[in-house]
C-alpha cells in the first residue's frame, strides 16, 4: 500500500501516476512466477544471462522484469546481480516451504481479475458482476482452487487460531470447521489436541482437498466430512467449538446473524464460535490490508463486506452469544473474533 | 511504489499480497474517474449518499470504492465524510487546472494495458506483443491520444525545460521540436522568448493538437509545422536548439545515435539538443519512477529503454556532440539532458 496521504500531506503528482500504473506490478509478479524467475535467482549466480537461460527468455525482457521487481521490493540487486530479499526467498522462491506463488495464482484467476475492466459498473450496481451470488454460488469451482492454492497464506494463521480456540484444552472435544477449504484450521486443532475430533464442512470436491491435507498431517482418523452448504446441512453436534474462517465476509448482516444462530444452536453450553476475518478499524480505512479487502467483497459478492469489530460484536449479540473477544494475529492482516455461547 | 525492501529487510508476506492485488488500485482509480467521484467529493458534503447520488451509483459501491481510495492515499476521511487530500484536489478533481484524469485515461488505454495478460510471453520474446514496432509504428493513433491526454503531466515540465534551453537568450532564434505531441515544450520556448520561432515535427494528425495549443497560447504566428517521421523528413534549419522530449526511450542505442547525428547536422555551431527523459541511476533500479519506466518500454516497443546518464552521454559522444549536461527537474521523474554541438 501507499504511504498514507492524509488531508494535510504535501502535493505529490507521483501518487496518481503510481496508482495508474499499479497494474504493472501485479502483471510483473505473475510473469516472474510463470517464468520461474524466483527459483532462478535462488539457484543461480543471479546475472541476467543465467536467469534468462533458466527461464528460456530474452535477456532484455529478464533485465527489465528483474529491475522492476527490485524497484517493487521483491528482489534486490547487488553489484549488477539479482539476489533474493528475505521476503522473496521465503515467500516467492518455490524452494521455500512458505512459497506463496500459488496464492498469487489464485488471486489472479480470470474470474477474480475480470472485475477490473468493469469496476465502474460494479460500483453503480453495488454488487459483483459475476452471475448469481458471485463466488458464493453453490458448488462454485473457485473454492476448490482456493483450497488448493491459498494454503500457504492461511497456514501461518492456523497455529495462533488453534491456541486461541483450545485455550489449553487437551481433553476430548468435537470441533466443526465450516467452509473448511484446505482444512488447515480444523487439522491444526486435531494436531494441537490429540483428543479432538474434527468435522470439515464444505462442498464435496473441496473436502477432498481438506482430507488429503488431514492425511498428510496424520489426523485423518479423527477427521469427519460433512459435504454441502453451511446454510442447508444439519450441523449435528453438539460441538465444543465451531470454526468460521474467512466466511462471514461473503454475506450481508442478516445472513451472518442467522448463520451464527444456527452455529450457536449446535454448540455445547460454554462452547465458542471462532471466526477468522479481515477486520478493519471502525474508520474502515485502516489498517490497509483489512480495509482494502472490502473491495474484493464488492467485486466478487452480492452483499459481502469487511466487517468491523463493532459490527461483528453486534452480530454475535443478535445471534444470542454472551460475549465477543478479538485476537489480532501478529504479522498478519487477520483477526480471530471469538463468540461465546 | 513500495518502500524499498533491500536484501536485509525483515520478512514481510504483505509485500507479496500487496503486489498481487496492486491491479485493484489502477482499476479503482479508473472507476472513480469514470464515475466522477473526485468532482463529487470536491463539490458536495462528502457523505456516501450524496456522492452516490452525484455519481448515479449504489451506496455500497461508493462507500467501498471511496474507502479504498482513502487506503491508497488519494482521498481522506474525516468524521465519516470523504474529503480531498491536497494531491487529489490538485491532480484528480476535474475542477482543478492541474487535473491529471486524462493522463490516467491515456495510460489505461486498452493497447497499453493489454500487455498485462501477456507479460510472460513479452519477457520471453524481449519485445512488445503489439504489431510491428509497437507504439512507434508510423501514424499510430496512440500519439494523437498522447498529445490530447498527457498535457497535464508534461505541462509542469515545460517551464523548467524552457529555462534550461534558453539560458536567458531572448534574441531571434529557431527551435525544432521533434515529436512535438501536444507541442507544450516548443510553445513554452516561444512564450519565454518572443523572438523565438518554433517548428513542430510530428505526424500530421498529432500536429493539429499542437497547433491548437499554440493558438491557445497566442504563439501560433511563430509556430511552423513539419509533418512526418523524424527519421525521414528533412529537418531544414539550421536551428539554435532542437527538442527531443520523451522520444529516445522508444528506440535502441544505434537508432538514437543516428538520430542525434541527424539532429546535430541541423544545429548551428554552438547549438544544443535538449532531451527530456526518464533517466534511472546507473543501478537501473532507482529512483522508482524512472527505473520502472523501462517496463513500459518493454511492453510497448521492440527495443526501447530507460537510458542511464552514462548511456545518454555515450550516445551524444558517438553522435559527435562536445558535451553532455543533466538537469533533473525537481518534483518530477524527468531529467533534461543537454547535448552541445
Q: What is the pLDDT of residues A212-254, one digit of tens each?
A: 999 999 999 999 999 999 999 999 999 999 999 999 999 999 9
State which residue of chain A sits closest to B20, comparing Cα positions: A26
Residue position matching grid coordinates 538537469:
B327
Put simply, the chain A residues between 298 and 337 with a CB less than 8 A from any chain B CB are: 298-299, 303, 305, 331, 333
Q: Contacts of residue A156 in chain B, CB cutoff 8 Å?
A: 13
Q: Cβ A291–B125 below 8 Å, yes or no?
A: no
Q: Contacts of residue B305 in chain A, CB cutoff 8 Å?
A: 64
3-state helix, strand, coil in chain A (%, to 5): 50, 15, 35
Q: Which three cell numbers stand for residue B37?
A: 467521484
**Whether B79 contacts chain A with CB within 8 A:** no
Task: Decide if B265 contacts B240 (C-beta within 8 A).
Answer: no
Q: Contacts of residue B284 in chain A, CB cutoff 8 Å?
A: 63, 67, 77
Q: Contacts of residue B123 in chain A, CB cutoff 8 Å?
A: 31, 35, 55, 57-58, 61-62, 64-65
Residue-level pLDDT at A4: 44
Measured between alpha carbons, how far is B68 from A288 in angstroms, rounded to an integer? 9
CB neighbour burial string for A175-187, b if at least 16 within 10 angstroms, e if fewer:
bbbbbbbbbbbbb
Residue ranges of chain A with pLDDT lower than 50?
1-5
Of A1, A35, A286, the CB nearest to B120: A35
Residue-level pLDDT at A1: 42
Q: Contacts of residue B51 in chain A, CB cutoff 8 Å?
A: none
**Whether A281 contacts chain B with CB within 8 A:** no
Distance from CA of A98 to the nearest CA of B (A): 10
Burial of B209 by CB count in 10 Å (0-12 exposed, 13-18 middle, 19+ buried)? buried
Residue A114 carries which DSSP code? G
Measured between alpha carbons, how far is A77 from B18 in angstroms, rounded to an integer? 21
Q: Cβ B123–A74 below 8 Å, yes or no?
A: no
Residue-level pLDDT at B7: 56
Alpha helices, DSSP H, located in B193-340:
204-216, 253-265, 288-300, 309-318
Q: Could you report the per-residue pLDDT of B51-91, keeping only the tens digit for each?
A: 999 999 999 999 999 999 999 999 999 999 999 999 999 99
**Whether B91 contacts chain A with CB within 8 A:** yes
User: Residue B4: pLDDT band by 50, 70, 90 thresholds?
Assistant: very low
Amino acid at each position: 500500500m501507499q504511504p498514507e496521504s492524509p488531508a494535510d500531506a504535501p502535493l505529490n503528482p507521483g501518487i496518481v501516476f503510481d496508482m495508474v500504473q499499479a497494474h504493472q506490478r501485479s502483471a510483473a509478479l505473475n510473469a516472474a512466477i510463470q517464468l520461474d524467475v524466483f527459483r532462478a535467482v535462488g539457484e543461480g549466480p543471479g546475472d541476467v544471462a543465467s536467469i534468462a537461460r533458466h527461464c528460456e527468455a530474452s535477456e532484455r525482457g529478464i533485465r527489465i522484469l528483474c529491475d522492476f521487481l527490485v524497484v517493487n521490493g521483491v528482489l534486490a540487486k547487488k553489484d549488477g546481480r539479482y539476489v533474493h530479499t528475505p521476503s522473496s526467498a521465503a515467500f516467492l522462491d518455490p524452494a521455500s516451504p512458505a512459497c506463496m506463488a500459488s496464492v498469487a495464482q489464485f488471486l489472479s484467476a480470470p474470474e477474480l481479475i475480470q472485475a477490473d475492466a468493469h469496476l465502474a459498473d460494479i460500483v453503480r450496481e453495488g454488487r459483483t458482476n459475476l452471475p448469481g451470488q458471485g463466488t458464493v454460488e453453490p458448488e462454485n469451482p473457485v473454492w476448490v482452487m482456493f483450497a488448493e492454492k491459498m494454503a500457504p497464506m492461511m497456514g501461518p494463521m492456523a497455529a495462533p487460531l488453534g491456541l486461541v480456540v483450545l485455550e489449553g484444552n487437551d481433553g476430548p472435544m468435537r470441533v466443526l470447521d465450516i467452509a473448511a477449504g484446505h482444512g488447515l484450521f480444523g487439522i491444526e486443532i486435531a494436531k494441537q489436541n490429540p483428543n479432538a475430533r474434527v468435522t470439515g464442512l464444505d462442498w464435496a470436491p473441496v473436502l477432498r482437498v481438506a482430507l488429503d491435507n488431514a492425511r498428510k498431517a496424520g489426523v485423518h482418523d479423527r477427521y469427519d466430512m460433512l459435504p454441502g452448504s453451511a446454510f442447508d446441512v444439519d450441523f449435528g453436534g453438539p460441538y465444543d467449538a465451531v470454526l468460521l474462517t474467512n466466511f462471514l465476509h461473503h454475506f450481508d448482516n442478516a445472513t451472518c446473524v442467522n448463520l451464527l444462530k444456527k452455529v450457536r444452536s449446535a454448540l455445547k453450553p460454554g462452547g465458542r464460535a471462532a471466526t477468522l476475518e479481515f477486520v478493519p478499524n471502525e474508520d474502515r480505512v485502516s489498517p490497509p490490508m483489512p480495509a482494502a479487502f472490502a473491495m474484493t467483497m464488492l467485486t466478487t459478492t452480492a452483499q459481502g463486506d469487511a466487517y468491523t469489530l463493532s459490527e461483528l460484536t453486534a452480530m454475535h449479540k443478535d445471534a444470542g452469544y454472551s460475549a465477543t473477544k478479538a485476537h489480532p494475529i501478529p504479522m498478519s492482516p487477520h483477526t480471530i473474533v471469538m463468540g461465546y455461547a
